[in-house]
Amino acid sequence: MTDVDGAFAPGDALIVVDVQNDFCPGGALPIENGDAVVPVLNRWIAAAVARNIPVYASRDWHPVGHMSFQESGGPWPPHCIQDREGARFHPDLKLPDSTVVVTKGVRFDQDQNSAFDQTGLAQHLRQQGIRRLWVGGLAEDVCVLATVLDARRDGFEVMVIQDATRPVTPEGGEQARRKMREAGAGVAA
Ligand code: VGL
Ligand code: ZN
DSSP string, 44-100: HHHHHHHTT--EEEEEE-BPTT-TTBGGGT-SB-S--BTTSGGGSBPTT----TTPE
- From ligand 1's centre to the CA of 78, what distance in Å? 11
Q: Give the pocket of ligand 1 (CB within 6 Å).
A: 18, 29, 60, 76, 138-139, 142-143
pLDDT digit string (tens) for 87-132? 999 999 999 999 999 999 999 999 999 999 999 999 999 999 999 9
pTM, to two decimals = 0.97
- From ligand 1's centre to the CA of 21, what distance in Å? 12
Tens-digit pLDDT string for the chain (189 aa): 788 988 999 999 999 999 999 999 999 999 999 999 999 999 999 999 999 999 999 999 999 999 999 999 999 999 999 999 999 999 999 999 999 999 999 999 999 999 999 999 999 999 999 999 999 999 999 999 999 999 999 999 999 999 999 999 999 999 999 999 999 999 998
Q: Supply the residue whose CA is at minimum distance from atom 6 of ligand 1.
A: 143
What does the pLDDT read at residue 5?
83
For ligand 2, a single-atom ion, the residues with CB < 5 A are: 60, 105
The domains located in the chain, with CATH, are 4-188 (3.40.50.850)
